[in-house]
């Protein structure tokens, strides 16, 4: 498996992107390779190699990508190549346009497949920005899934998942939803599997200032790989099965009772795989992640079974002024019952009942902000089962005693 991502080899800030290169045999452990694309001195990609994809055409691997000058997925069917490109118009805002080619080199523009007005007609409350980026299409047995990344006034926002059907060059939307309920996931890409499901990664940007990113020497991460399925006309998102192979041991938890909470004694980790199961009579409970002993730094994951909601509050996640806070989440298809949290230092990825995800970045400042606490009424705390696992590194070079993680900015 080869994975490419936008990468700035000059430092931890966004500028003149190259394509970084990762390889893996199992999608859980990875090795870095030299960049596969670099901007030319002059030409259409002089100012950066932007979003694109790679396909196999006979014996050749063909890269199709967007080059840029100035400020800053194809599919094969019936012997032809089809390509979706994100765009925007002054009249209708965001749109996805379709192009077709016989040789992956000369393309014919066929017009828009989906426009902002199509989604407004379906649901006037959906905000679609002024331009769409990184469209990807998954064809499922009973529906199509079109992922769009919303861009507006030179600012990236969030991806949308549109379910519907592609017929005769037009995508007819049936429903639209947020692809992820958190603030820090953008530009998801897809690897389609033979069974019709797909594996997805996304770019998780920073929740701290540009100055903090430059001081750290790096910026941006790729999300953990996710399994996407369209089941009964609805999108289901879950962590990739192979991630369980990263678990090294289950941590034996000893809970200390405190007023209104239970603290896991002995937890001193900033990288964890956490499984939570709620009994049906639990109404609501909060899980404090990356929690300092005095609670002055903590990220709060709140599960509300009465309202059928999940929320992540990071207002108290960091004492640093340059770190972004906020509360994010929303209503779920059903009351939360099983929750999995992948915690990787500054990255929090929450998966609820293998259907909904929530991704956010946090940047605690204290070295002791590595604890875990449950907060709620006594009857709620009694109905929570929690398991936590230590994880090995995803980097093969680190496991062999080498180092390979370079500085730079990463974007999916």
Percent of the chain at pLDDT > 90 equals 78
* pLDDT reading at 404 higher than 50: no
Residue 1 tokens read as 């498996």
Strand (E) or helix (H) holding 211: helix 210-216
The mean pLDDT value for 351-361 works out to 98
Residues with Cβ within 8 Å of residue 267, at least 6 apart in sequence: 251, 253, 370, 371, 372, 388
- Parse the chain into domains and list their residue ranges: 247-396
The percentage of the chain sitting over the pLDDT mark of 70, rounded to a whole number, equals: 94
C-alpha torsion angle, residues 411, 90, 176, 163 (rounded to 10):
-80
The C-alpha atoms of residue 262 and residue 392 are separated, in whole angstroms, by 27
In this predicted structure, what is the pLDDT of residue 399? 63
Dist CA 165 CA 183 (whole Å): 28
Residue 412 has a pLDDT of 38
What is the band of 215 on the pLDDT scale with cuts at 50, 70, 90?
Answer: very high
Q: What is the pLDDT of residue 387?
A: 97
Q: Quickly state the pLDDT bin for 318 (edges 50, 70, 90).
A: very high
Structure confidence at residue 70 (pLDDT): 61
Contacts of 136 by beta carbon, 8 Å cutoff, 6+ apart: 73, 84, 146, 147, 188, 189, 190
For residues 289 and 301, the answer to whether their CB atoms sit within 8 Å is yes
pLDDT in tens, 107-161: 999 999 999 999 999 999 999 999 999 999 987 766 799 999 999 988 999 999 9
Instruction: Report the SS3 class of residue 356.
Output: strand
Max mean pLDDT among 40-49, 214-223, 293-302 falls in: 293-302
Summarize the confidence of residues 268-278 as an average pLDDT: 97
Lowest pLDDT segment from 11-15, 339-343, 351-355: 11-15
CA distance 289 to 317: 9
Q: Output 13 or 39, whichever has higher pLDDT.
A: 39
Region 217-230: mean pLDDT is 94
Nearest-angstrom CA–CA distance, 324 and 312: 13
What is the per-residue DSSP string for 249-301? EE---EEEEETTEEEEET---SEEEEEEEE-TT--EEEEEEEE-TTSSS-EEE
pLDDT band of residue 266 (cuts 50, 70, 90) is confident
- Between 64-73, 272-281, 385-394, the lowest mean confidence (pLDDT) is in 64-73
Asked whether residue 388 carries a pLDDT value surpassing 70, the answer given is: yes
Tell me what pLDDT residue 120 has.
94
What is the rounded (10 degree) CA torsion for 8, 19, 25, 405? -10
Question: What is the pLDDT confidence band of residue 14, given thresholds at 50, 70 and 90?
Answer: confident
Q: What pLDDT sits at residue 377?
A: 96
pLDDT in tens, 361-386: 999 999 999 999 999 999 999 999 99
Instruction: Give the pLDDT confidence of 162-210 residue by residue, as tens digits.
Output: 999 988 889 999 999 999 999 999 999 999 887 777 999 999 999 999 9
Question: pLDDT band at 11, cuts 50/70/90?
Answer: confident
> What pLDDT does residue 409 have?
45
Span 326-341, average pLDDT: 98
- Match 């960049």 to its residue by tokens: 35
User: What is the DSSP-derived secondary structure letter of residue 169?
Assistant: T
Question: Would you state the pLDDT for residue 193?
Answer: 82
pLDDT, position 139: 79
**Given the structure tokens 């007819």, which residue do they identify?**
172
- pLDDT confidence band for 406 (50 / 70 / 90): very low
Instruction: State the Cα–Cα distance between residues 121 and 197, nearest whole angstrom.
Output: 29
Q: What is the mean pLDDT of the chain?
A: 91
pLDDT score, position 58: 92
Q: Where are the beta strands (DSSP E) in 90-225?
A: 93-101, 108-115, 131-139, 144-152, 155-167, 170-178, 186-192, 198-204, 218-219, 221-222
Least confident of 95-109, 269-283, 287-301, 398-412: 398-412
pLDDT exceeds 60 at position 76: no
Class of domain 247-396: mainly beta
With a cut of 70, say whether residue 273 has pLDDT above it. yes
pLDDT at 74 over 70: no
């Amino acid at each position: 498996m080869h994975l490419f991502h936008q990468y700035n080899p000059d430092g931890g800030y966004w500028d003149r992107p190259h394509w970084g290169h990762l390889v893996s045999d199992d999608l859980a452990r990875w090795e870095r390779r030299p960049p596969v694309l670099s901007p030319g001195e002059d030409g259409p990609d002089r100012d950066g190699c932007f979003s694109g994809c790679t396909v196999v055409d006979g014996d050749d691997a063909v890269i199709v990508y967007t080059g840029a000058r100035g400020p800053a997925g194809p599919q094969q069917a019936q012997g032809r190549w089809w390509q979706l490109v994100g765009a925007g118009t002054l009249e209708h805002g965001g749109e996805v346009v379709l192009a077709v080619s016989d040789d992956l080199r000369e393309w014919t523009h066929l017009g828009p497949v989906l426009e902002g007005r199509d989604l407004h007609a379906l649901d006037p409350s959906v905000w679609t920005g002024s331009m769409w980026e990184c469209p990807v299409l998954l064809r499922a047995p009973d529906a199509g899934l079109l992922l769009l990344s919303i861009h507006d006034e030179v600012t990236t926002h969030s991806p949308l998942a549109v379910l519907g059907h592609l017929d005769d060059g037009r995508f007819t939307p049936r429903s639209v939803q947020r692809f992820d309920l958190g603030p820090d996931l953008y530009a998801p890409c897809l690897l389609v599997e033979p069974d019709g499901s797909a594996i997805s990664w996304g770019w998780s940007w920073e929740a701290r200032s540009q100055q903090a990113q430059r001081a750290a020497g790096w910026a941006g991460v790729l999300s953990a790989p996710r399994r996407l399925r369209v089941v009964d006309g609805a999108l289901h998102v879950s962590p990739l099965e192979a991630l369980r192979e990263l678990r090294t041991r289950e941590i034996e938890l000893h809970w200390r009772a405190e007023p209104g909470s239970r603290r896991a004694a002995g937890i001193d980790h900033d990288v964890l795989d956490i499984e939570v199961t709620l009994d049906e009579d639990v109404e609501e409970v909060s899980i404090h992640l990356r929690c300092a002993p005095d609670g002055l730094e903590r990220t709060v994951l709140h599960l509300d079974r009465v309202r059928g909601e999940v929320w992540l509050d990071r207002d108290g996640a960091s004492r640093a002024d340059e770190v972004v806070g906020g509360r994010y989440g929303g209503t779920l298809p059903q009351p939360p019952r099983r929750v999995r949290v992948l915690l990787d230092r500054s990255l929090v990825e929450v998966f609820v009942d293998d259907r909904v995800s929530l991704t956010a970045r946090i940047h605690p400042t204290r070295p002791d902000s590595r604890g875990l606490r449950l907060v709620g009424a006594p009857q709620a705390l009694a109905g929570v089962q929690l398991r936590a696992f230590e994880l090995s590194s995803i980097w093969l070079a680190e496991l062999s005693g080498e180092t390979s993680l370079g500085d730079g900015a990463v974007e999916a």
